Amino acid sequence: MGGLKLQQSDRHDLTPAIVIEATKIYKEFLTGFNKWLELTGNDPVTPVRPVGSSHYAEKDVAEYPETIYGDVDYLVSIPVEYSSSDTTARRKEENAASSKYTILLKEYLEGGPIKNVDTQLTLKGSPLMIIVKLSSGKFVQVDTIMTHSSYVEWMKGRYTPERGIKGYVVGNLYKALGDYLILTIGTEGVLARIKDGQRVSSNLRTGITYQSISLNFNNFFKDIADYVIIGAYEPDSLLLQHPGLDSENVNLDDFAYGIVGLAKTIEDADNISAKEMLSTIYNNFVRGLDANVNKKSKMNITPEKEAKLLKLNIEQAKRVYSIFKKV
């Protein structure tokens, strides 16, 4: 549907054709923003591409024109000046840059009318959620996903689900793997949160330093193995076949095989049980899928849509289980 800032009566199905028109207007909006940034002495932002399920709109408009997306997300790289190579210090500078450009975006929106953008409605919440006006007169919300140049290639994959599958499915598998290994697999690559020399969960907020484990989407399973295994080791054949994922063709089966290869590699090197590791990850994955539907059901989705999501969850859980059980 059209987004959180739009009233229910103003929302409509986000088809591929609508998404393509909305992202075109959004890119024109960013062109105007960059001109304003230049006039105010600030470096420009860099439009990257749509991410999330709407990334596939260009393909779907020809092959599956009746596809309906949940939202429209657009990846934008924000400039940042680094003064250190330390991951913890760089994160602070990146957060400061993101905050700065959020404020600048708000100032630009407050400056007056902008072609094909409802500035008043956009300013009713986060300025990163842009309300664009289509040629039909309909409104669509386009969400700005901020990143920085270091993470662009990683984010192209991390924020893109398998075509035709809801993004939360693969998102829950990232979380389940990260929770087991006590790592974060998110917007800034694979990160370790360190306190008193030990990896800690994201629940701890104070006294934390960060270590960057991987920004290579094509090789992050292998990079994780290099980090968690102490000393020399022999990669499992599945890890060699699936060292990471393809950012242009994210596939849940490939993801599951990569996890299996990682689990078998850690088992051989560190004498842990791959079956136990995979069982824990799978159970957390399924709980995450259920939690997503429970959350959406509280948003008053129709019984038909809830049933469709539950069916999707069962199908995708079976896919992962069928691969995990081979160990």
At residue 57, the pLDDT reads 96
At residue 13, the pLDDT reads 87
- The per-residue pLDDT for range 193-212, each reduced to its tens digit, is 999 999 999 888 889 999 99
1 pLDDT band (50/70/90 cuts)? very low
Q: What is the mean pLDDT of the chain?
A: 94
Residue spans of alpha helices (H) in 218-273: 220-228, 237-241, 252-270
Residues 6+ apart with CB under 8 A from 243: 218, 219, 220, 221, 222, 258
Which letter does DSSP use for residue 174 in this model? H
At residue 313, the pLDDT reads 97
- The per-residue pLDDT for range 258-309, each reduced to its tens digit, is 999 999 999 999 989 999 999 999 999 999 999 999 988 877 788 898 999 9
User: Residue 208 in contact with residue 196, Cβ under 8 Å?
Assistant: no
At residue 2, the pLDDT reads 47
At residue 204, the pLDDT reads 86
Residue type, 56: Y
At residue 9, the pLDDT reads 60
- The per-residue pLDDT for range 124-177, each reduced to its tens digit, is 999 999 999 999 999 999 999 999 999 999 999 999 999 999 999 999 999 999
- The per-residue pLDDT for range 106-119, each reduced to its tens digit, is 999 999 899 999 99
Q: Which of 66-70, 122-126, 203-207, 237-241 has the lowest mean pLDDT?
A: 203-207
213 pLDDT band (50/70/90 cuts)? very high
Count CA atoms closer than 13 A to 96's CA, side-chain side. 10
**DSSP 3-state helix, strand, coil percentages of the chain (rounded to 5)?**
50, 15, 35
pLDDT at 237 over 50: yes
At residue 8, the pLDDT reads 64
